[in-house]
């Protein structure tokens, strides 16, 4: 596999290295910020670069949620239009990828809600049946959307403290990664990102339920201590910290592997513990956003290989004429 297309300069591998704070899911990096500045100035080449970089992974995700490929393409196109319309209000508290996925997710949820609304009206007419609630991580995202909307409307919590909370969570994740404490990372990801119960986590990882509860309590307390240290105005007495952590984790996908890390997983170049973590994240937890990235990487790699084979065939058929 050649895979020369993986976004260079934007990401770092898990391989023995902790992700830099400037390239976590929680914050935009300098390369992305430069690209945004160029787009804001009307640079069509910069816009084309952004489209080339992100359209594949967004389309791969949309196709897993919508039955018709044409519908998936339309909603991705609409996502980029919404991105352009909102770019002036983008504060850089997440990566471009995370921001684009959040727009796309909301649009797909709107489609689901519209379909469910029509479905429920039909069921009312028939006076029978149940609404199909779906399953998987995306449905967890959809079910939490009202919570996220209420959080978004609460300016005091959303805007005043979001940056501080994001910094505290990132610091927590960084510390776990530096220590290569993979089990704890899996547990807090299942707790705060996938919203699994203590019992389900214990059964999945073959650990005691009490141990899951202890780890959860430990990291919530660490977040409280870190928040108090970062911002003394962060009044934790009237805040449901666990709920806010879940909302922010959901919005910014704080523990998702970077794209280059997923590329390293595809190429099998990561250290074993990180290979295991990414495999668990993708295949046992079933993160659909990261699956979309992996699908896009595979598709681009296959396309690259086809181009290489075709180029070699042309070379072999024309080299004789070149020598003459």
3-state secondary structure of 22: helix
* Domain hosting residue 220, numbered range: 155-255
Same domain for 63 and 109: yes
pLDDT band at 134 (very low <50, low <70, confident <90, very high): very low
Q: Helical H runs in the chain?
A: 30-40, 44-65, 69-86, 96-126, 137-143, 145-153, 155, 162-178, 182-192, 198-205, 209-230, 241-252, 259-267, 272-279, 288-323
For 152, other C-beta atoms within 10 Å of its C-beta total: 15
Average of per-residue pLDDT across 136-147: 49
Out of 45-49, 164-168, 233-237, 282-286, the most confident range is: 282-286
Specify if 10 maps to a domain.
no
> Running DSSP on this structure, what letter comes out for residue 93?
S
Lowest mean pLDDT segment, chosen from 4-8, 25-29, 47-51, 120-124: 4-8
- Could you give the percent of the chain with pLDDT greater than 70? 72
Distance CA 40, CA 149 (A): 27
Query: Rounded to the nearest 5 degrees, what angle is found at the Cα of 278, between the Cα atoms of 273 and 282?
Result: 150
pLDDT in tens, 263-297: 999 999 999 999 999 999 999 999 999 999 999 99
Considering its fold, how many domains does the chain have in total? 3
Average of per-residue pLDDT across 126-135: 40
Specify if 137 maps to a domain.
no
Q: How far, rounded to the nearest angstrom, does the alpha carbon of residue 7 sit from its chain's CA centroid?
A: 16
Same domain for 122 and 40: yes
Q: Which two tokens stand for residue 106?
A: 């909301």
Kind plus residue range of the DSSP H or E element containing 324: none
Specify if 248 maps to a domain.
yes
Rg of the chain in Å (alpha carbons): 22
Closest-CA residue to 8 (of 253, 259, 252, 256): 259
Closest-CA residue to 262 (of 4, 6, 86): 6
Q: Greater confidence, 46 or 128?
A: 46
pLDDT band at 316 (very low <50, low <70, confident <90, very high): confident
Average of per-residue pLDDT across 116-141: 47
Q: Rounded to 5 degrees, what are φ and ψ at 66?
A: -120, 140
Specify if 163 maps to a domain.
yes
Q: Rounded to 5 degrees, what are φ and ψ at 200?
A: -65, -40
Same domain for 68 and 33: yes
Average of per-residue pLDDT across 133-151: 46
Q: Which two tokens stand for residue 114?
A: 């519209």
Residue 313: per-residue pLDDT: 74
Specify if 15 maps to a domain.
no
CATH code for the domain of 85: 1.10.1740.10
Specify if 230 maps to a domain.
yes
Same domain for 313 and 232: no
pLDDT band at 305 (very low <50, low <70, confident <90, very high): confident
Lowest mean pLDDT segment, chosen from 62-66, 69-73, 94-98, 156-160: 156-160
Does residue 100 have a pLDDT over 60? Answer: yes
Same domain for 286 and 196: no
Is the overall model pTM greater than 0.85, yes or no?
A: no
Distance CA 214, CA 47 (A): 47
Q: What is the mean pLDDT of the chain?
A: 76
pLDDT band at 147 (very low <50, low <70, confident <90, very high): very low
Specify if 168 maps to a domain.
yes
């Amino acid at each position: 596999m050649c895979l020369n297309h993986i976004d260079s300069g934007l990401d770092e591998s898990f391989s023995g290295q902790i992700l830099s704070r400037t390239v976590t899911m929680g914050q935009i990096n300098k390369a992305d910020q430069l690209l945004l500045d160029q787009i804001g100035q009307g640079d069509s080449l910069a816009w084309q670069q952004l489209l080339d970089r992100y359209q594949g992974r967004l389309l791969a995700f949309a196709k897993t949620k919508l039955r018709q490929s044409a519908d998936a393409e339309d909603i991705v196109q609409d996502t980029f239009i919404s991105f352009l319309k909102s770019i002036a209000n983008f504060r850089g508290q997440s990566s471009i990828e995370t921001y684009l996925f959040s727009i796309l997710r909301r649009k797909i949820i709107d489609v689901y809600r519209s379909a469910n609304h029509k479905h429920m009206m039909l069921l009312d007419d028939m006076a029978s049946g149940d609404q199909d609630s779906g399953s998987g991580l995306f449905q967890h995202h959809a079910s939490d959307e009202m919570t996220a909307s209420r959080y978004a409307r609460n300016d005091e919590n959303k805007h005043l403290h979001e940056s501080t909370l994001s910094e505290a969570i990132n610091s927590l994740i960084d510390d776990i990664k530096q220590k290569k404490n993979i089990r704890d990372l899996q547990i807090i990801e299942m707790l705060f990102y996938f919203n699994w119960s203590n019992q389900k986590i214990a059964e999945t990882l073959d650990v005691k339920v009490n141990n899951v509860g202890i780890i959860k309590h430990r990291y919530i307390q660490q977040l409280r201590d870190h928040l108090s240290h970062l911002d003394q105005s962060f009044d934790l007495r009237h805040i449901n910290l666990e709920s806010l952590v879940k909302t922010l984790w959901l919005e910014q996908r704080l523990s998702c592997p970077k794209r280059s890390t997923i590329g390293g997983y595809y190429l099998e170049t990561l250290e074993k513990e990180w290979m295991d973590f990414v495999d668990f994240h993708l295949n046992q937890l079933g993160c659909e956003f990261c699956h979309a990235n992996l699908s896009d990487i595979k598709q681009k790699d296959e396309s690259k290989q086809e181009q290489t084979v075709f180029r070699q065939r042309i070379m072999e058929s024309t080299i004789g004429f070149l020598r003459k």
